[in-house]
A and B are shown apart, each in its own frame.
Chain A
Amino acid sequence: MARTISYREALNEALVQEMERDQSVIVMGEDNAGGAGAPGADDAWGGVLGVTKGLYDRFPGRVLDTPITESAFVGAAIGAATRGMRPVAELMFIDFLGVCLDQIYNQAAKFRYMFGGKAVTPVVIRTMYGAGLRAAAQHSQSLYPIFTHIPGLKVVLPSSPYEAKGLLTTAIRDNDPVIFCEHKALYDTTGEVPEEPYTIPFGEADIVREGDDLTIVAFGRMVSVAAEAADELARSGVRCEVIDPRTTSPLDEETILESVENTGRLVIVDEATPRCNLATDVSALVARQAFGSLLAPIEMVTPPHTPVPFSDVLEDLYIPDAQRVVNAVKNVMSWER
């Protein structure tokens, strides 16, 4: 039965249900038990923003609190995955990926390819991305395009509580390394989520809203921004189709191309900085495979090519909002050959 819970609770429920279903699922990372300034298991925070809260007591010995050593515990998780476990490692802020990149892109991503399909690496690396929480330049980036670039990794960007639970369940059951990117500003958002375990397949986009005037492709938290813009545009008679790819690798190219072939216009909303991000990737896809359908140039709504500002005012300006999406759509709609 579906009921309304938060994105954070949906993720926690997926972890609980999969740990109950499969003894090989373990959780590891910094502050999974304990937390900044907390005494440890007696006051287990469940990670810095509380996603794994309650797991430490519920699954004795299967929730590992690690030191601040991403290179060590991410490597350990990958190694455990090759030996039959299903670890879910928490890389806290995505900004810290640099210190464990070798373990991810040079090892885990390649095992299946290098061993002729005989090796499986069922590891999930959960990580937080995104601006808006006043966490400054070193804790606010949207670096999912880096993982998307690496063959052998699956990359997931859940945009709502429903997607969060279903996609995390799929990620844990998947036999390949999955980078699971959670937006910090979504943890308190709520939505209808079934109580039962369920899965959402990778590589299938969600059509959040149907329309035939223009296609908006949006990623992660930008999905709700795009939907808000589409609501406003609908009041002025512009019907936008909003597509949430849900996973950037694999990417549901077919749904995007079908939509653009129908609408002839495309706006892409991506919180990652504009060079070599998902907006440029989707733009290239459409320009190459649906060029004949385009009635206007493609627009990309992204932050500027700068680090995330520390100033509250500048950070608010940095993040794409619904008004910027509305302006981009109007710009595309007004274009004439």
Chain B
Amino acid sequence: MTDERIHRVTMPKWGLSMATGKITDWWAAEGDDVSDGDDLAEIDTDKIAGTLESTGDGVLRRIVVAAGSDAPVGATIAVVAPAEVPDSAIDEVVAEAEQQLASGEVEEAGGPAVAEVDVGGRMISYASIGEGPEAVVLVHGFGGDKNSWLFVQEPLAEGRTVYALDLPGHGASTKDVGDGSLNALAATLVAFLDELGVEQAHLVGHSLGGAVVADAAASAPDRVRSLTLIAPAGFGSEVDADYLRGFVEASTRRELKPHLRKLFADESQVTRHLVDDLLKYKRIDGVREALQTLLGTLLHGDAQAIDTGPALAEVDVPLAVVWGRQDAVLPSTNASALADRVQVRFVDGAGHMVHMENPAATREAIESVLR
């Protein structure tokens, strides 16, 4: 029987189509102490590159899959255990892992399960993972979808149920956004909780999603246990209106890519697959009209048309706010509008997609209000 103190670090499943990943670099070396949330390795898939974080404390006792090598999802790629666990026990786990890799008998990690639910006659698609009495609901931003949480959703699911939904007009959900108002989106979110039987949830919203969760919390305060706002819309007037309009109008790779570069501090995050996936979404019937309707909610001329402050003022729950210091879409200076309410966590080296560029900082902020 394996020593329960030994923790197997496995190849994660970032997205439904991910079958293997390549370890491009190990950030920790054998013998290093690692803590929950520490960066362990850089992993490249055919769609995206990301950082694998430790989900436990201990010593990185052994690296099973070296940098530069591929491994299937679910494969043990390293072993973490306290120093007092004997080497013989580690050797046993490593031998088993190597045998599984050699034979190809690796049990694939589950990853989030995708389902859909009828919310007021409109189909809402969502991904869920984990089990537990606490529910966390992740709400993406304008033009995004549930997959944008791929680095955050699974690590949050330890002892909790974590949902990520596609807002109307986005991802695999209905493209009918109604009047596209913030109230309508927030009402859909609350109705989504109703349909899933979630009495109370911790709400996490990015960008437009930040404004949506704040509005939902104000309209249904008894349903919300905490709020985490990530580069939220509706604070301050500044917004890159050219980005928003350009994103809606772009229909080819060449047109879209320059706009997407504004989302990240590190432009190399804008991979061909990221662009292609967004184009596939944008080319679905009804998406362009939906985004144009929502644009009317977001913009007044070149300034933000929504003001999330009044809604947030009505909310009395634990609050965390995260903002990428290099955010070019909603500048981090907008956070000054929140200065009286909460200490904003600014993340250096991250742009608007801070939850993709620095998932550890984002997860830490979310967990600070879950406790």
- Residues of chain B contacted by A212 (CB below 8 angstroms): none
Instruction: Determine, out of A198-206, A260-268, A326-334, the stretch whose residues face the partner at the interface.
Output: A198-206
Contact of A1 with B284 in the complex, beta carbons under 8 Å: no
Contact residues, A204-218 vs B (CB, 8 A): 204, 206-207, 210
Q: Is A201 touching B252 in the complex (CB atoms < 8 A)?
A: yes
Contacts of B254 in A (CB 8 A): 254
Contacts of B253 in A (CB 8 A): 204, 207
B272: which of A166, A192, A210 is its contact (CB, 8 Å)?
A: A210
For residue B285, CB closer than 8 A to chain A, the reply is: yes
Number of A interface residues at 8 Å Cβ cutoff, please give it: 17
B283→A198 contact, CB < 8 A: yes
**Is B284 in contact with A197, judged by CB distance below 8 angstroms?**
yes
Question: In the complex, A162 Cα to B277 Cα: how many Å?
Answer: 12
A307 at the binding interface (Cβ < 8 Å): no
Contact with A along B267-308 (1 / 0, CB 8 A): 000001000100010011110000000000000000000000
Chain A residues contacting B355 (CB-CB under 8 Å) are: none
- In angstroms, how far is the closest chain A Cβ from the Cβ of B274? 12
Q: What are the residues of chain A within 8 A of B17 when measuring CB–CB? A: 192
Q: A1-B116, A204-B253 are in contact. Are A197 and B285 (CB under 8 A)?
A: yes
Size bracket, chain B contacts: 10 to 19
**In the complex, residue of chain A having the shortest beta-carbon distance to the beta carbon of B286:** A196
- Beyond A1-B116, A201-B252, A210-B272, whether A194 also contacts B284 by CB under 8 A is yes
**Is the Cβ of B251 less than 8 Å from the Cβ of A198?**
no
B284 touches A196 (CB 8 A): yes
CA distance A192 to B172 in the complex (A): 13
- Contacts A1-B125, A1-B172; A194 near B252 (Cβ below 8 A): no
Q: Which residues of B contact A198 (CB under 8 A)?
A: 280, 283-285
Instruction: Determine whether the beta carbon of B285 is less than 8 Å from that of A196.
Output: yes
28 A-B contacts, Cβ less than 8 Å apart?
A1-B114, A1-B125, A1-B172, A162-B280, A166-B283, A192-B17, A194-B284, A196-B284, A196-B285, A196-B286, A197-B284, A197-B285, A198-B280, A198-B283, A198-B284, A198-B285, A199-B283, A199-B285, A200-B283, A201-B251, A201-B252, A204-B252, A204-B253, A206-B276, A207-B253, A207-B272, A210-B272, A254-B254
B175 at the A interface (CB under 8 A): yes
Q: In whole angstroms, what is the CA distance A29 to B254 when docked?
A: 38
Chain A residues near B172 (CB, 8 Å)?
A: 1-2
Closest A residue by C-beta to B174: A196
Q: Which residues of B contact A254 (CB under 8 A)?
A: 254
Question: What are the 5 A-B residue pairs with the smallest beta carbon separation, nearest first?
Answer: A1-B172, A197-B285, A198-B284, A198-B283, A196-B284
Expressed in whole angstroms, the Cα–Cα distance for A1 and B175 within the complex equals 12
Question: B164-208 toward A: CB 8 Å interface, digit per residue (1/0)?
Answer: 000000001001000000000000000000000000000000000
Which chain B residues lie closer than 8 Å to A210 at the CB level? Answer: 272
Contacts of B286 in A (CB 8 A): 196
A198 to B277, CA, bound (A): 13
Task: Please report the C-alpha to C-alpha distance between residue A198 and residue B285 in the assembled complex, in whole angstroms.
Answer: 5
A312 and B252 CA atoms in complex are apart in Å by 42
